[in-house]
Amino acid sequence: MPAKDGDIYMLRVGPSGGPVIQVETVTSPAAIKQGLSGRPSMPSGTGLFFVFPELAIRSMWMPNMRFPLDIVWLDEHLSVVSITYDAKPCPTIDNCPQYTSTYKALYAIEMNAGDAAAKGFRVGLSLTVVS
C-alpha cells in the first residue's frame, strides 16, 4: 500500500456494506514515534493508520497521550491479527506500559477506546481500501 505521512484513506471493515473508518496515515519513523501523543482528542470513528517498514511483532507505548485507545494490529493482507482494547495513557514516563501485537503486523490502527468494538473489528476480519 503506497502511502506517505498525512494521506487520508477510507477503510471498509469486513465485507461489502460493512462500516467504514477514515484514517490518517503515518509512515516516517518520526511520525510513527509521535503517533497520537500530544493530541487533545480524535474524532469518533477515525483513526491513525501506521505503516511499518516490515512485518514484525510490534509494540506501542503511550507517553504524552491524553485519552485511551484501541489498537488494531493488521498483517500484510490488511487482516486483523490482534486487538488491544482500552490501552491507557502512561501515568508517568517511568510507568509506561508497552502494548504489543500477538502476531506479526505490518500495519496498526489507533482509534478511540471503544471504537474497535463499535466498528465491528475482530480477529480474522479483513479490511479493504475504499478510497
Q: What are the tens digits of pLDDT across the range 8-51? A: 999 999 988 899 999 999 999 999 999 999 899 999 999 999 99
Backbone φ and ψ of 112, nearest 5°:
-55, 140
Which domain, by its residues, includes 100? 8-129
Give the CATH number of the domain where residue 26 resides.
2.60.120.1140
Q: Is residue 33, in this structure, part of any structural domain at all?
A: yes
Strand partners, 111: 47, 70
Total structural domains within the chain:
1
Residue 8 identity = I
Kindly state the average pLDDT of the residues 90-95: 87
Question: Which position has the higher pLDDT, 3 or 108?
Answer: 108
Q: Is residue 1, in this structure, part of any structural domain at all?
A: no
Could you report the per-residue pLDDT of 101-124, keeping only the tens digit for each? Answer: 999 999 999 999 999 999 999 999
Q: Is residue 122, in this structure, part of any structural domain at all?
A: yes
Q: Is residue 2, in this structure, part of any structural domain at all?
A: no
pLDDT at 1 over 70: no
Q: Is residue 3, in this structure, part of any structural domain at all?
A: no
